[in-house]
Amino acid sequence: MCLGIPGEVIEILADRPDLARVDVSGVKRAINIGLLSEETVEPGDWVLIHVGFALSKIDEAEAKAAMEFLESIGKAYDDEIAALRESEIL
Amino acid sequence: MTGISAPSDREQQVLDRIERVRKRRAKVKEERITLSHGSGGKATHTLIEAVFLEAFRNPLLEPLEDAATFTVDGGRMALTTDSYVVSPIFFPGGNIGDLAVNGTVNDLAVSGARPLYLTAGFILEEGFPVADLLRIVESMRDAATAADVSIVTGDTKVVQRGKADGCYINTAGVGVIEYPGRLGVATVRPGDVVLVSGPIGDHGITVMLARGELDIEADLESDTAPVHELVATLLAATPGVRAMRDATRGGVATILNEVAQAADVAVVVDEDAVPVGKEVRGASELLGIDPLYVACEGRIVAIVDGAEAETALAAMRGHPLGASAAIIGRVKADPPGLVLLNTVFGGTRICDLLVGDPLPRIC
Amino acid sequence: MRYVDEFRDADTARALSAKIAGLCEPGREYKFMEVCGGHTHTIYKHGLEDYLPENITLVHGPGCPVCVIPMGRIDDSIHIARQPDVLMTSFGDMMRVPGSGGNFFDSNAEGTNIRMVYSPLDSLKIARQNPDKHVVFMAIGFETTAPSTAMTVLRAAKEGIENFSIFCNHITIIPAIKAILDSPDLRLDGFIGPGHVSTVIGCRPYEFIAGEYGKPIVVAGFEPLDILQSIYMLMLQLRDGRSEVENQYSRVVPWEGNLTALRVIAETMELRPYFEWRGLGFISHSALRVRPEYERFDAELKFDVPGVRVADPKACQCGEVLKGVLKPWECKVFGTACTPETPIGTCMVSPEGACAAYYNFGRFTRTRVREASLATVDELAGSARRVPS
């Protein structure tokens, strides 16, 4: 129920526009993108794959924001640790 | 300390009770054989101990290593057998014939033996194409040549259409042990390191995809190969090799569990250090399978004296089949009988034997 | 792997862990429930609890659609599989779930043909390739998986395939969460919300949790950093005295959900008046069945399943474990009569179940496990590897 993996759309099948070939770390499979009929899906898009269907298109802007938040936390932590170390040296 | 609290007395009692139950004599509870009994995991081990070992018990069988070793007329020899029932019979990187030769050669090699002679027994299904049989047999011939062994005797049976899935092969192999040192899990001790000779899971994933039901394409091949030269190189480079195992069904995790239980030690694996090919990773994530439990056919796991770790690694890497060899873990005294995994994420978990085959999941 | 590896970074985990610890009030205990079995799997697979301070406990909820299938439904599936010319197809998760007479593997040993598939579409393909067989798909899962089953039924209808049907065991998540919330013996501070269910139903359905019940809920992704970040967001809500629905998994989950998916579910399925959940009892309007318009694809009708209700063994205390009232090791049969090889109840059946997860991980005291592994890490890495403290 929960196993969903991000994959990159490589091509939409010409004779079956509800199917797309996706790439997951070099492994390829045709999946059904019929659940994303309200959006445009193009090669280069990333989708969430579950039991052979794309459930959602990955929002690159949100993904970027998520990563930036996590990185900022990481950086703030590193800064604090660095500051802590420096204060110990003095 | 985060996330850790000493267990209460009650909790400790329950944990102790579980340990006692697990140490009890193996018993097969099922009335009929199921596929799980053939997967190399807990069900297989229980079957072997409760049925085969019980009935045949003798000192040569009890170690349950990849081959039996014994002395004849002043020389030490190794004897092993394996049956091959893979489906599909032909897959990227090889076929059942390659497995039949390499698998048995490898079981002899990891026992420290120079493989000499193989038997080959065929069970063929009525209707099986002779052309396919020729392909298989030619592969076996080539594999035998590559492994410096001869197939010296064999047998053929034909069964009715519907049985034997095309072709089943059994091979037995005998070799002479020239390595003077003692090899076997009994010699494994805390401080030893665990090495693997290359990326794991290639064979199992290749075959799973080759069945065609999953509709997944990947640029993957089985890793089937004879490892006798790799082993010889390793043994020549260092006297510190404790034990080696051929990583076949059940994968690396199963072997490490066998070692941990047989030697009553803990094996701690660093997930980051385990080599996994890109496509094996992709397919495994997609299907929800852990590559640590997926079969290889040309990889060895070697337990080596900690002081000899780098020497052993360099030796393996010097051989083409060991180019991506890696140190993946270490043996410790505690907690005995368990395999622990330090996850990529920085946490720890126990890596237990599976009950049966790793199954694709959706959850 | 993109969108996966970035969310498994250990250094960021340490940072988040420190922040979470910093938000803990001394002496206060926090209990969060992760509803979804997939989250339980991530937590154990990555050893995530090692990053949480002692006073935060994660309670494993009933969001495992495999675990909550009553034994009677497994028996029904096997009954269908035993019918002449039936080829049953199922996800791998279901193959080892025991019914009253054994699991699907056992059933195959006795002669049925139950095959594993990755997708319901594969099942349809098998139906096309085997016109002399009737192919049944055992449909399980929450709203995450229901749309895929629905699309498959629609496809079968479009192609006029006549040798295909589904045995529908889809369940819905909200009634389960409500049952947990209404449970008198449970004290939870918040929920880690099911990420993939939410791609279909969106985040709105959880508003009653924050509004009526005053519990924060953060919809979380499935990588370990997603879960850690979600816990951080829950702690912030508690600190601020807020109770809101937040979406940590915004890169995948749209607030409004997937309208196409909801539409195809509605077209092919309808809510059952009630359905039995193993360990939780009967819950009303919590499961789906095939609509009358598509009844030709309903295996339940075609094969006249016995529908016998099989009670859980008396010794089974899964209900209390599922609700987080009992810890796994507090169950009387844990580890003896009930083990992963011989599971009695739902919590042991699936590797995500709370008891199976604890059995596989917590069997040896976590202190000893952690000490053993830390020492190795230092030796292997050869450098100080920081540990959250």
Tokens of A36: 């994303």
What are the tens digits of pLDDT across the range B305-352? 999 999 999 999 999 999 999 999 999 998 889 999 998 888 888 888
Closest CB to A74 among C4, C11, C147: C11
Q: Are C99 and C69 in contact (CB under 8 A)?
A: no
Q: Is the dihedral of CA C193, C197, C198, C201 positive or negative?
A: negative
**Tens digit of each residue's pLDDT (9 = 90 or more) over B272-291:** 999 999 999 999 988 888 99
Q: From CA B279, how far away is CA B294, in angstroms rounded?
A: 13
Distance between CA atoms of C253 and C258, rounded to whole angstroms? 9
d(CA C26, CA C18): 14
What letter would DSSP give residue A15? S
pTM of the model: 0.87
Q: Closest residue of A to B213, CA-based?
A: A29
B9 vs A: CB within 8 A: no
Q: Are B328 and B274 in contact (CB under 8 A)?
A: yes
Give the Cα separation of B304 and B193 in Å (integer): 5
Mean predicted confidence (pLDDT) in B95-118: 96
ipTM for the complex? 0.89
C389 touches chain B (CB under 8 A): yes
- Residue B26, pLDDT above cutoff 60: yes
Interface test mutation site (partner B, options A11, A25, A47, A51, max chain B beta carbons within 10 A): A25
pLDDT of residue C271 exceeding 90: yes
The mean predicted confidence, pLDDT, of chain A is 87
Q: How many CA atoms lie within 13 A of B19 on its CB side?
A: 15
CB contact under 8 A, C380 and B282: no
Burial track C364-381 (b if 16+ CB lie within 10 A, e otherwise)? bbbebbbbbbbebbeebe
Q: Does B92 touch chain A (CB under 8 A)?
A: no
Average of per-residue pLDDT values in chain B: 90
Partners for B (CB, 8 Å, 3+ pairs)?
Answer: A, C
CB < 8 Å to B330, chain C: 376, 379-380
According to DSSP, residue B50 is labeled: I
Decide if B281 and A25 are in contact by the 8 Å CB cutoff. yes
- Is the per-residue pLDDT at C339 higher than 50? yes
Q: Which residues of B49-79 are buried (b: 16+ CB within 10 A; e: fewer)?
A: eeeebeeeeeeeeeeebbbbbeeeeeebbbb
Mean pLDDT across A10-36: 94
